[in-house]
Structure 1
Amino acid sequence: MASCYPCRRLLACFCSELHDDDNGKDGEDLPVILSHRKLETLKTDLKKDSPERTQVEKRNSVVCEVSQSFIHNIPDKPLSAIEINELLKSNSLKEAYPHLQSLHLEFQREQEALGEKTSLLGLTSKEKDLSLLYGTLRTKVIDIIRHSSSLPSCNKELLCYVAFIIQEEENRKDLGRMKGWRDAWSSAVQDSVRDTLKGVQLDSREENASWLAVHLGHLGKVIVELLEKVKTELVDSYPSNFNVFETYVSSCHEVVGEHLKKLLEKITELKDYYSMLDFIINQYHSEKILGSPSLQPEMEKLKALTLPDADQIKEKYCNCLQEDLNSSLSKIIKLEKEDVWRKKDMPQSAEDGRFIISEIHIDISKLIAGFANNSGKIDANLKKRVLCTCLEALKHFPKRFEEEFTKQSSSLLGTDLLDCCLYSKYHVAYTNSFSSLKEHMEGYRESCPGQISELGKEVDRLLLSLRQALLKQLKVETEPFMKIMMTKTWLKTNDDFKEIMNRLEIYSGFGRSMKPLPAQLFANDMHYHVVKEYISQLLMKKYTCKGKKNKLAADKIRDQWDDLRRLFSDMGSTLDWLHPLGDHLSKIIEQENEKDIINFLEPLVENYPDMSEKQLSAILYFRNNDVKKNLKLKLNQNKVIQRFNVLKQNCEKKNTFFSDITV
């Protein structure tokens, strides 16, 4: 960089760090303590006409002019310490600093004159005055810097004097001189930034629910305004080696970090954690603040600055979100309790009129989608963490819901048929709702596979519980009629079976009101349950046929079994392997001769290998297989039983059914 003036050597004591000569040699090695003779020479030479100035940066020209002004004004005789102090207090640095330098030179001359002689009292007093004056100067310089961002443009010259004084004092090597002027400047800059940002509007949450979002919005604007002023007004008041813009940006960044940490301590609500993360991750480096076009290109290399650990804030955000979600889920249960269960509000049908629905899954899905979408506006990583947090919290909801629903719905199970119907419809509606919830949540499997699997298990457990509750109620309603099965009354009339079929038709209608997958599972559950109950009656030895009643009983079983098969096939049961059982048993029961039963054992054992010897004996008892003879003849000597045991040894176990029936 070229010098401002050819007589660079004369200015070296003031501008040694500002300019390099054409050979690149600076003035750091030149004497910086001027004697009285050298000072006079310097003044005389500066009055000479200088050659044409080379083209230099504006800021260096300004500082050189300030340097010239100071040098011209160094008086031969300094003002008194009191007068200099008054000038400093009134910001008259242009007049005060030359007199302070003159006083310092005077002190040096007197000190040199004394040599090694003991210092006079007056000299000691002057040394003390100098120390106090330099302290006042440091305080005044710091104060000016601290308020520099609020200085009117007409006072920019004052800041130029400050910059010159800092550099001049920094370059002096005198013993006893104050050190750390550049550090003091940096600290003052940071204090100036801190004062500016401290003045940003900050409402309390009682005054403004959006207190933090509003404050951070104002904070961003003030940061930009401050740095714009630094760039357009303050930078030119300093030599380039002060790195003014970089220092202000660094200070601003540090102060903002401190400020955000303090704000973080006040945050208790999710929206405020969101505002904080949005400011740190999105706004701070965007065109709204550091990326503002008005701050470029100087800001470009400084944008890598990072604010407080966003990961810790994300963790706090997720913890707060989990609390909010748990609270919302509790409210959903509370609303169901107050607006549905206590009021006995009948569940509504979907728009197509096919399914009975509850809106629980819609509310929950919207909640989680809202949390995920909002967090996705921060970044993808947070969205994934939020989803996993939501699903982890949601995992406990099915059990909480079941406990409260069971407690509230039990009151519906009385003698009132309408209440019993409402009880069943509630179970259907919630079966559909939680099935839909599971389907919706599957869309998040890629992000949170573990949480989705755990949630799926809990929802499946609840769905099973809801189906079992319906089956239990079905059993309560059909049990009185089931007890008449396989009795003398049953053999004479179909009334009881018709009552059973009527109930089954009703519950088949409930199944048709379910979504396809739970409907199919419910059909299987019903199918298995009814067949098991029906066969159980046959194995209870409540009745034994005699003579032609064998054929009559077999035909009745066959007819009723066909009715059950049609019903469950229409419902969509996939338990086709249960269908042949009625035919197998009918054929055994209708045989007149016991030896003929052996011919029908193989398909029975092949399809139902878990049937026990005791269960087969119960069927033979129902057929009236000469009970008195069986009492005398050991079972292991009975040819039917013997053949049955041989077949069982050679068969491969497939389905299990009879194992669930206790005889």
Structure 2
Amino acid sequence: MGGVSLQPEMEEESSDLQLEEDFLKKLKDKYCCKLKEDIRCTLERVIEQENKTIWRDRETPEKDEGFLHSQFPMDIWTNLKGSIVGSAAIDAQLKQKVISSCLQELKDFPKRFEAGFRLHCSALQPEPIWTEYQITYINSFTALQQHMEGYRDTCPAEVEDLKKETDGLIFRLSQGLEVQFKEDVELYLRRMITRKWLTDDDDFKQLSRRTELLSKHCALMRPPHNQDFASRLHYHVVQEYIGQLMKKNFSCKNQRHERAASKIRKQWEELRDLFEEMNSAHEWLYDVGDELSVIVEQKNKRDIKNHLETLVKHYPDFCKKHLVAVLYFRGLIRGREHQLILQKFTELKKTQGRADEDKSHVLFRDMQIPAKTDCFSHLPFSCLSSLLPDN
């Protein structure tokens, strides 16, 4: 080979291996495509494993630090992290492509998981195990999203796309729990502030029992979803309970108003304690039952107008029609004092104005009020003072 006759040929051949200009790019693309296929298979196995170990035999979910959880978010994160760390050892650019590929494939996982979950478990609702599963996956997909947030600086668009999908699933699971609770308590809430309610505690006991169960479920849900969930249902229970008072189902005559006010206060305290235990963010709702009870319990109807200011201040959407309904429940339907109370209320509303109104504190606005049946109750006092006796 060292002969002189061979040297010209050797000089014409380059000893360096020549690669296509985009060879590395194609190689990286092929690697990422294969990686996405592997991830897709891994995620399918996650769903299959969840069915095999949990759904098929209706197994109770595990707990971690007192919260229901599944192991798959950690398994997924560990699997993806291994691929990402391995690619980083080869090339920084490859690492970014791998992270992007992982997140792109993971984006469709929440919907695929939800489809599998509903296919295998929807027949369980409304059994307690169905509720536990929903809470488990609210917690699990929250954890999965938190794991992936670590890649937001590298791939912000992909992380945000994944977040939209996980948030969507968490919302649908939470909504399912809310609908279930509302259906469970609908009948009992509708029976509040009625003639039967005044002498029978059974319906409230059922409402309280279901609210206690709700509290136990909230304790199994991780922040921040537990507080958001409890707050929404706190608002629902308050609005429906007070809404029954606005429907003019009956009027407390013959001194029954004091017993009714005492009952509202006692029940309100029980409900308030339950939602405080759930850490509801709607602290502004805690006082409304007591403030309405103060109006209802007054022995002397002349004293009612002295207890309106706090209610007007705390609940600026409390209007004249709501006060008329409360007075009706109190047994005060018309007459001189009725008109004086409304007159005082109008003055307070004008003084209060809208300066202190908090748009987020809306409670009474959407409550249904029955059509007026008393054509005299809203006439000016000057038109009635000489015509109507006091009640």
- State yes or no: 1:380 paired with 2:92: yes
2:353 partner SS: helix
- CA distance 1:613–1:319, change in 2 (3 Å): farther
Q: Select the structure of larger CA radius of gyration.
A: 1
- CA distance 1:408–1:600, change in 2 (3 Å): farther
Q: Is the 8 A contact 1:550 1:590 kept in 2?
A: yes
- State yes or no: 1:513 paired with 2:220: yes
1:356 partner SS: strand
Write out per-residue CA displacement over residues 3-54 of structure 1, whole angstroms, 9 at most, x where no aligned residue.
xxxxxxxxxxxxxxxxxxxxxxxxxxxxxxxxxxxxxxxxxxxxxxxxxxxx
Write out per-residue CA displacement over residues 142-198 of structure 1, whole angstroms, 9 at most, x where no aligned residue.
xxxxxxxxxxxxxx46x43333xx5xxxxxxxxxxxxxxxxxx3xxx6xxxxxxxxx
- RMSD of aligned Cα (Å): 3.0
Write out per-residue CA displacement over residues 604-633 of structure 1, whole angstroms, 9 at most, x where no aligned residue.
222222334433333333223216x69xx9
Q: Match of 1:625?
A: 332
Q: Match of 1:345?
A: 59
- CA distance 1:482–1:505, change in 2 (3 Å): same
Distance (Å, rounded) in 1 between the aligned partners of 2:367 and 2:113 = 32
Q: Match of 1:657?
A: 363
Q: Trace 1:534-545 onto structure 2 (pairs within 5 A).
A: 534-545=241-252
Matched AA of 1:357: H
Write out per-residue CA displacement over residues 347-406 of structure 1, whole angstroms, 9 at most, x where no aligned residue.
1223x5x22211231232123212312222222222222223322332333334334434
Percent identity over the alignment is 37
Q: Which deviates more from structure 2 when the two are superposed, residues 640-649 or residues 578-587?
A: 640-649
**How many angstroms does 1:496 deviate by?**
1.9
- CA distance 1:323–1:488, change in 2 (3 Å): same
Number of paired residues? 366
**How many angstroms does 1:579 deviate by?**
0.9
Distance (Å, rounded) in 2 between the aligned partners of 1:361 and 1:496 = 42
- CA distance 1:341–1:648, change in 2 (3 Å): farther
Q: Is the 8 A contact 2:312 2:349 kept in 1?
A: no
- State yes or no: 1:161 paired with 2:5: yes
Matched AA of 1:314: K
- CA distance 1:491–1:384, change in 2 (3 Å): same
Q: Is the 8 A contact 1:365 1:437 kept in 2?
A: yes
Q: Match of 1:249?
A: 15
Matched AA of 2:343: K
1:545 partner SS: coil
Q: Match of 1:314?
A: 28
**How many angstroms does 1:595 deviate by?**
4.8
Q: Is the 8 A contact 1:602 1:647 kept in 2?
A: no
**How many angstroms does 1:594 deviate by?**
4.8
**How many angstroms does 1:637 deviate by?**
10
- State yes or no: 1:333 paired with 2:47: yes
Q: Trace 1:64-143 onto structure 2 (pairs within 5 A).
A: none
Distance (Å, rounded) in 2 between the aligned partners of 1:472 and 1:556 = 28
Q: Trace 1:453-472 onto structure 2 (pairs within 5 A).
A: 453-472=160-179
Q: Any unmatched runs of 5+ in structure 1?
A: 1-155, 167-184, 190-241, 259-306, 415-419
- CA distance 1:591–1:369, change in 2 (3 Å): same
Equivalent of 1:483, from 190, 215, 224? Answer: 190
Q: Match of 1:176?
A: none
Q: Is the 8 A contact 2:67 2:220 kept in 1?
A: yes
Q: Trace 1:177-326 onto structure 2 (pairs within 5 A).
A: 185=9, 242=11, 247-250=13-16, 253-254=17-18, 257=19, 308-326=22-40
Q: Is the 8 A contact 1:427 1:466 kept in 2?
A: yes
Q: Any unmatched runs of 5+ in structure 2?
A: 370-391
Q: Match of 1:555?
A: 262
Q: Is the 8 A contact 1:347 1:426 kept in 2?
A: yes
1:249 partner SS: coil
**How many angstroms does 1:546 deviate by?**
1.6
Q: Match of 2:201?
A: 494
Distance (Å, rounded) in 2 between the aligned partners of 1:355 and 1:400 = 24
Q: Match of 1:528?
A: 235
Q: Is the 8 A contact 1:318 1:389 kept in 2?
A: yes
Distance (Å, rounded) in 1 between the aligned partners of 2:356 and 2:230 = 27
Distance (Å, rounded) in 2 between the aligned partners of 1:371 and 1:510 = 37
Matched AA of 1:646: K
Q: Return the TM-score normalized by structure 2.
A: 0.82
Q: Match of 2:117?
A: 405
Matched AA of 2:77: S
Q: Match of 2:387?
A: none
- State yes or no: 1:603 paired with 2:317: no
Where relative contact order (Cα < 8 A, 6+ residues apart) is larger, the structure is 2
Equivalent of 1:646, from 350, 358, 369? Answer: 350
Matched AA of 2:202: D
Distance (Å, rounded) in 2 between the aligned partners of 1:639 and 1:592 = 20
Q: Is the 8 A contact 2:317 2:364 kept in 1?
A: yes
**How many angstroms does 1:586 deviate by?**
1.0
- CA distance 1:588–1:405, change in 2 (3 Å): farther
Distance (Å, rounded) in 2 between the aligned partners of 1:432 and 1:404 = 17
**How many angstroms does 1:422 deviate by?**
0.3
- CA distance 1:403–1:622, change in 2 (3 Å): farther
